[in-house]
């Protein structure tokens, strides 16, 4: 069973993903693949440096993702350009991983955690979709704390994302992380049990 796991900025996708992995799901964090393809030698490295310039490089010659994000989020067409370099190799790596899981554990549950599954349309390739959501103010506070970003930077990023209210419409399951971690874990266990029951039908 292929399950997509998505949500908004700083909503707790990774926390939910790791909890599902501990319950027995196979987990792939697509954002990590995104980082990999941007490393020197990765498929997206050369086109990104060519289009965005050497200003996005750190002293070590690697892409500084914060500098890149500052440029990419300035204009929708710049973000679309960046996505066009990063997404095709990431999707190919995802498909290879899903095929490996299917071969090794045909009765397993494979979860792909990715920020923009809905926006790219790739959610259609999954049997079920989990959307992780919380209060917008909570997103802002968590992102400031986690990323060291300013409130303005966080709000700018949120303005480029599909609103959570819109994402919820695509969900088979919604996990609301506005409460305690224990409350989030309880919801995650319920979703896992539902997925297992569906697999057995």
Domain membership flag for residue 102: no
Q: Which domain holds residue 46?
A: 32-95
Based on the fold, state whether residues 112 and 200 are members of the same structural domain: yes
Residue 43 and residue 14 share a domain? no
Residues 138 and 186 in one domain: yes
* End-of-domain residue from the set 44, 68, 95: 95
| Total number of domains in the chain | 2
Please check the confidence at residue 178 and state whether its pLDDT lies above 90. yes
Secondary structure in 3-state letters for the chain:
CEEEEEECCCCCHHHHHHHHHHHCCEEEEHHHHHHHHHCCCCCCHHHHHHHHCHHHECCCCCECHHHHHHHHCCCHHHHHHHHHHHHHHHHHHHHHHHHHHHHHCCCCCEEEECCCCCCCCHHHHCCEEEEEECCHHHHHHHHHHHHCCCHHHHHHHHHCCCCHHHHHCCCCEEEECCCCHHHHHHHHHHHHHHHHHHHHC
Residue 182: pLDDT above 90? yes
Res 47: pLDDT: 97
| Domain match, 125 and 68 both | no
Predicted confidence (pLDDT) per residue in 100-134, tens digit: 999 999 999 999 999 889 988 989 999 999 999 99
Q: What is the CATH number of the domain that holds 195?
A: 3.40.50.300
pTM: 0.88
């Amino acid at each position: 069973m292929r399950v997509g796991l998505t949500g908004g900025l700083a909503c707790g996708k990774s926390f939910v993903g790791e909890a599902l992995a501990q319950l027995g799901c196979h987990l792939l964090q697509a954002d990590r693949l995104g980082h990999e393809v941007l490393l020197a030698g990765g498929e997206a490295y050369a086109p990104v440096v060519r289009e965005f310039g050497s200003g996005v490089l750190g002293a070590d010659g690697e892409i500084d993702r914060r500098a890149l994000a500052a440029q990419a989020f300035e204009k929708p067409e710049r973000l679309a350009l960046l996505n066009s370099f990063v997404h095709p190799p990431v999707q190919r790596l995802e498909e290879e991983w899903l095929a490996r899981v299917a071969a090794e554990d045909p009765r397993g549950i494979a979860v792909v955690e990715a920020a923009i599954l809905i926006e790219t349309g790739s959610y259609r390739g999954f049997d079920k979709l989990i959307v992780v959501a919380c209060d917008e103010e909570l997103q802002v506070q968590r992102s400031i704390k986690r990323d060291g970003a300013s409130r303005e930077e966080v709000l700018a990023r949120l303005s480029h994302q599909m609103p959570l209210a819109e994402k919820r419409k695509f969900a088979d399951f919604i996990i609301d992380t506005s409460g305690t971690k224990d409350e989030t874990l309880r919801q995650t266990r319920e979703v896992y049990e539902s997925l297992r029951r569906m697999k057995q039908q």
